[in-house]
A and B are shown apart, each in its own frame.
Chain A
Amino acid sequence: MSLHAWLLLGAFLAVLLSTTKPLGLYIAHLMEGRLRWTRPLESGLYRLCGVRPDEEMGWLRYALALLLFNVLGVLAVYGLQRLQAVLPLNPQQMAAVAPDSAFNTAVSFVTNTDWQGYAGESTLGYLVQMLGLTVQNFLSAATGIAVAIALIRGFARHSAATLGNAWVDLTRATLYLLLPLSLAMAVFLVGQGVIQNFDAYREAATLDPAQSGPQLLAMGPVASQEAIKMLGTNGGGFFNANAAHPFENPTPLTNFVQMLAIFLIPAALCVTFGRMVGDTRQGWAVLTAMTLLFVVAAGAAMSFEQQGNPRLAALGVDQAAGDGQAGGNMEGKETRFGIADSALFATITTAASCGAVNAMHDSFTPLGGLVPLANMQLGEVVFGGVGSGLYGMLVFAVLAVFIAGLMIGRTPEYLGKKIETHEMKMSALAILVTPLLVLLGTALAVSTEAGRAGIANPGAHGFSEILYSLTSAGNNNGSAFAGLSANTPFYNLLLAAVMWLGRFGVIVPVLAMAGALAAKKRIAATAGTLPTHTPLFVALLIGTVLLFGLLNYVPALALGPVVEHLALWMDA
């Protein structure tokens, strides 16, 4: 890894971590209702909607509220796509989207996955992009934040029957966190060249017309969607090429800001957590574990991509890094981003549950592509999705104290709460539901004609494409080895089911655990309590995450990227 790549990674972490504390504290104050200035607008909204903001909800009611709210989202996004031919703001006269694709996209954006079987610029009109997809970019992120806050309250409260009010949490996260950040970021993006208009596609005469004839430039309200796509770790591109498209991500600076935006809220929520449970060291411990895992993954991806492709080297292609070029494996990468910014982006987008891409992961080197795949398979708890990263990591923390409890022979406890049978059942469920969906789904796809028909690349890489798609859907990431032709009824329905269960099959047990934790008494720490803010615990937490990831997925990874790596370099 070059000095430049290290400096880039260092600068990224330095800027990110400088925002973490102020934003994290702001979120804590906001979600606990301690900001007076938010009240006038909020209370008007609640009156209009028939929300009683003081009503406290038990875990089941909280979960039902979120489920209902998200089902409405699926219906709305599905309906808008099916009706888009007769709706306004559709200058390219896009036709109604096919039912299977519309359903897949609806579930995809509601579950914060943003897996895209369709190509944006040739499928969706501007109204669907805004009123369908942009809305879900906000609301799915708000849902994730609400669940994380409810789980934190489970630890923070004692002898309590309730976790807060879902409507209030959704509203505050949307109005006072996601909206202002998005507005500022969107305006910045436009200044850098991201488009924002409602024009019909523009025709441009080209310079060398013998080659291509006039060029039709896709248009649209891109910046407003791009901002929340990153801040909400959604990742669904306005265009097919996502953040590799120059109109979505025109400069190295927009790229840097987009990378920061992905980790901004997930990192800050660690501080929110520490603050709300009354011990900031707990939040920093979780953040440290995340950061260490991330640095290793980013370093690996950048190194593997810089190695280039031995098959091109055999043709005499110059892949060496020098003053005049980035070198390395440039297939599927943009010149302005080169190797370091592309590999770093790929690591960030899969460590978080974002799934935006600024380079085509399908064309990564085998081990370079293994990094994003493995990141998702760890459950996206390395910063992770907005909200979902923190609640995922806290489930692993519960598991870690349980394992430690077995080793030292004491009843495990975390943050003054005894971890008992019910909590272990719920956390086991939350951890196991995703690998189960991913591996069974992959098995189904590779053993059916309809599943294998989507493969674009021959050999082990074809298997990786399928494994990647199910991994991405099950973990609500949304990035792809995009060669896979996934816009078929088979994949649209399979992946929609996996996305839905991968989202709410985790959220419901997490809320159930939160409810049980809130009801417990807080016990005082004794000499026998395992402290959970120490380097030892950070190591234990990292070990637990890696252990489960490896146990679940190593056989599948061996069949895909590992075999491909050996084949690529064997005769090189």
Chain B
Amino acid sequence: MKTLVRPAVSLFLLLSALTGLAYPLAVTGIARAVFPEQAAGSLIRDDRNRVVGSALIGQQFGAPQYFWGRPSATAPRPYNAAASSGSNQGPLNPALVEAASARIEALRAADPGNRQPVPVELVSASASGLDPHISPAAALWQVPRVARARGLPEARVRSLVESHAEGRQWWLLGEPRVNVLQLNLALDALGP
């Protein structure tokens, strides 16, 4: 047993230094040199160089002139990017149905004329609570409301959505989606 202690301790320390310090530092060094933007969080800046968000992290939207993203279950407020979380509600949980009903009500109240069924992604909380995307169907559903609130023709807003829609990667990976923050930034860039 005694002859095992020295190799155990010294090998543990050495491999720890290698995998716990040298390796992450090497990755950081390479990342900073080759992919500095991505390594820092794909941050989006406005013309005053102020960080307004990350291209990868969703934000909470509730004003009628913006597209809304997925419901977020993070605490203590939605889209808390320092405390990612899903709702973890099971399919039979009454709280799940209540949350979905309340969300449908809010969506209907903001757009009383819209009789189309609500796409599922607008009523179901994402896994991370920070999902930056919605499906193209969920974006198109909101076009009439956004167009009206901004006084823009619906066709104009619809084509903006379509130009921001990404398909599956190589027709195979992932699902079609629209980045909500980038879509809303593009909307703001159109003017009031």
The reply to whether A196 and B31 contact each other, CB–CB distance below 8 Å, is yes
Question: CB within 8 A of B41: which of A219, A330, A362, A457?
Answer: A219
Question: CB within 8 A of A190: which of B39, B94, B134?
Answer: B39
The reply to whether B53 and A207 contact each other, CB–CB distance below 8 Å, is yes
The reply to whether B93 and A202 contact each other, CB–CB distance below 8 Å, is no
The reply to whether A121 and B28 contact each other, CB–CB distance below 8 Å, is no
The reply to whether B59 and A73 contact each other, CB–CB distance below 8 Å, is no
The reply to whether B23 and A179 contact each other, CB–CB distance below 8 Å, is yes
The reply to whether B34 and A207 contact each other, CB–CB distance below 8 Å, is no
Say if the beta carbon of B163 comes within 8 Å of chain A: no
Q: Which residue of B lies closest to A324 (CB)?
A: B137
Give the A-B pair count, Cβ closer than 8 A: 409
The reply to whether B60 and A483 contact each other, CB–CB distance below 8 Å, is no
Contacts of A251 in B (CB 8 A): 169, 174
The reply to whether A255 and B173 contact each other, CB–CB distance below 8 Å, is yes
Contacts of A8 in B (CB 8 A): 172-173
Do A245 and B84 contact each other (CB < 8 Å), given the known contacts A199-B40, A207-B53, A224-B24? Answer: yes
Interface segment out of the listed A334-342, A392-400, A502-510 = A334-342
Kindly state the interface size class of chain A when it binds its partner: 35 or more
Kindly state the separation between the CA atoms of A208 and B52 in the bound complex, as whole angstroms: 10
Contacts of A241 in B (CB 8 A): 84-86, 127-130
The reply to whether A341 and B174 contact each other, CB–CB distance below 8 Å, is yes
Say if the beta carbon of A551 comes within 8 Å of chain B: no
The reply to whether A324 and B86 contact each other, CB–CB distance below 8 Å, is no
The reply to whether B11 and A49 contact each other, CB–CB distance below 8 Å, is yes
The reply to whether B38 and A191 contact each other, CB–CB distance below 8 Å, is yes
The reply to whether A244 and B127 contact each other, CB–CB distance below 8 Å, is yes
The reply to whether B11 and A171 contact each other, CB–CB distance below 8 Å, is yes
Contacts of A206 in B (CB 8 A): 52-53, 59-60
Contacts of A197 in B (CB 8 A): 28, 31-32, 39-41
Say if the beta carbon of B100 comes within 8 Å of chain A: yes
Contacts of B7 in A (CB 8 A): 49-51, 65, 167
The reply to whether A193 and B56 contact each other, CB–CB distance below 8 Å, is yes
The reply to whether A217 and B77 contact each other, CB–CB distance below 8 Å, is no
Say if the beta carbon of B152 comes within 8 Å of chain A: no
B102 vs chain A, min Cβ distance (A):
11
Contacts of B134 in A (CB 8 A): 335
Q: Mark A432-463, 1 if CB is under 8 A from B, else 0.
A: 00000000000000000000000011111100
The reply to whether A256 and B120 contact each other, CB–CB distance below 8 Å, is no
Kindly state the separation between the CA atoms of A410 and B130 in the bound complex, as whole angstroms: 60
Kindly state the separation between the CA atoms of A138 and B22 in the bound complex, as whole angstroms: 13
**Which chain A residues in 181-220 approach chain B with CB under 8 Å?**
182-183, 186-187, 190-199, 201-208, 210-212, 215-219
Say if the beta carbon of A95 comes within 8 Å of chain B: no
The reply to whether A311 and B91 contact each other, CB–CB distance below 8 Å, is yes
Interface segment out of the listed A273-281, A314-322, A523-531 = A314-322
Q: Which residue of A lies closest to B8 (CB)?
A: A68
Q: Which 6 A-B pairs have the closest CB atoms?
A: A252-B174, A324-B137, A338-B175, A483-B88, A244-B127, A241-B84
Mark A residues whose CB is within 8 Å of B. Answer: 4, 7-8, 11, 45, 48-51, 61, 64-65, 68-69, 72-73, 76, 119, 121-122, 130-132, 134-135, 137-139, 167, 170-171, 174-175, 178-179, 182-183, 186-187, 190-199, 201-208, 210-212, 215-219, 221, 223-225, 228, 239-241, 244-247, 250-253, 255-256, 308-309, 311-312, 315-319, 322-338, 340-342, 357-360, 362-366, 456-461, 464, 481-483, 564, 567-568
Q: A134-B23, A241-B127 are in contact. List 13 more A-B contacts (CB 8 A).
A: A11-B172, A76-B16, A135-B20, A138-B15, A179-B18, A186-B27, A190-B31, A216-B82, A224-B23, A245-B84, A328-B120, A337-B174, A363-B96
A-B contact pairs, 9 of them (CB 8 A): A51-B7, A138-B15, A208-B63, A216-B81, A218-B81, A244-B126, A331-B87, A335-B135, A457-B90
